[in-house]
């Protein structure tokens, strides 16, 4: 059985489903944030990416995940200056405007599973923040009107092949997903 979960687009400060991080506005400082986009993924186990369920596509069960299309980080506004969120997808998600790091192929946190499948968010309401995008590993949040980073993409269990002398790789492309992550599986007919 194959399960496909579409990433949700963020709305305002609300995160996009399947791993986006929340944002927060702080109008008194003229700083505004936005939610990060969710990732799209294909797996052999049900539930959302990064779930804590022992039967879902968690870090412990990451071998069940075939494809991840990372979501983009939330944009930010600081005193009227707009900052675009980092793009999602590729081996490394795009960084946010203030130095928030995009998701990688391994965790950038204090444990191997930190940010797996889920974009980071700032848990305090005392400052404006923009959520990271979901992905294989989610992007980090941006603070004080700076934008969040995008989540990384991932491809595994999809074999490359050669047909009529042309090589067809299984690959993930960087810098293409704003908002929610989008995965494309192209059909190639082999004679």
Checking if the pLDDT of 60 tops 60, the result is yes
> CA 135 to CA 50: how far, in whole Å?
9
Give the model's pLDDT for residue 20: 95
Give the model's pLDDT for residue 124: 83
Cβ atoms 144, 156 nearer than 8 A: no
Give the model's pLDDT for residue 121: 95
pLDDT class of 47 with cuts at 50, 70, 90: confident
Task: Name which of 12-21, 69-78, 154-163 the model is least confident about.
Answer: 154-163
* Rounded mean pLDDT, 107-116: 88
Task: Name which of 30-34, 126-130, 179-183 the model is least confident about.
Answer: 179-183
> CA 189 to CA 53: how far, in whole Å?
37
pLDDT class of 19 with cuts at 50, 70, 90: very high
Could you count the other beta carbons within 10 Å of the beta carbon of residue 26?
A: 17
Q: Of 14-23, 48-57, 153-162, give the range with the top mean pLDDT.
A: 14-23
* All structural domains of the chain with their residue ranges: 1-191
Task: Name which of 5-9, 69-73, 174-178, 179-183 the model is least confident about.
Answer: 174-178
> CA 74 to CA 3: how far, in whole Å?
26
Give the model's pLDDT for residue 69: 93
- Residue (of 182, 115, 183) closest to 148 by Cα position: 115
Residue with tokens 């075939």: 66
pTM of the model: 0.84
C-alpha separations of 45 from 20, 57, 113 in Å? 20, 6, 18
Give the model's pLDDT for residue 56: 79
Give the model's pLDDT for residue 109: 81
Give the model's pLDDT for residue 75: 97
As a whole number, the mean pLDDT across the chain is 86
Q: Provide DSSP, 23-91.
A: -B-BGGGTEE--PPPPPEEEESS-S-TT---TTSS-STTGGGEEEEEPPPPPPEEETTEEEPPPPB-SS
* Rounded mean pLDDT, 173-178: 54
């Amino acid at each position: 059985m194959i399960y496909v979960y579409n990433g949700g687009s963020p709305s305002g400060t609300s995160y996009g489903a399947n791993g986006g991080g929340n944002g927060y506005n702080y109008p008194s400082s003229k700083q505004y944030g936005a939610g990060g986009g969710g990732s799209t993924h294909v797996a052999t186990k049900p539930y959302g990416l990064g779930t804590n369920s022992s039967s879902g596509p968690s870090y412990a069960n990451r071998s069940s995940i075939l494809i991840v299309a990372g979501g983009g980080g939330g944009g930010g506004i600081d005193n009227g200056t707009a900052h675009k969120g980092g793009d999602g997808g590729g081996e490394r998600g795009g960084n946010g405007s203030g130095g928030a790091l995009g998701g990688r192929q391994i965790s950038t946190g204090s444990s191997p599973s930190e940010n797996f499948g889920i974009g980071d968010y700032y848990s305090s309401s005392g400052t404006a923040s923009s959520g990271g995008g979901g992905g294989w590993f989610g992007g980090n949040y941006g603070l004080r009107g700076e934008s969040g980073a995008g989540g990384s993409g991932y491809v595994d269990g999809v074999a490359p092949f050669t047909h009529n002398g042309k090589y067809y790789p299984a690959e993930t492309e960087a810098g293409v997903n704003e908002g929610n992550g989008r995965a494309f599986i192209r059909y190639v007919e082999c004679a």
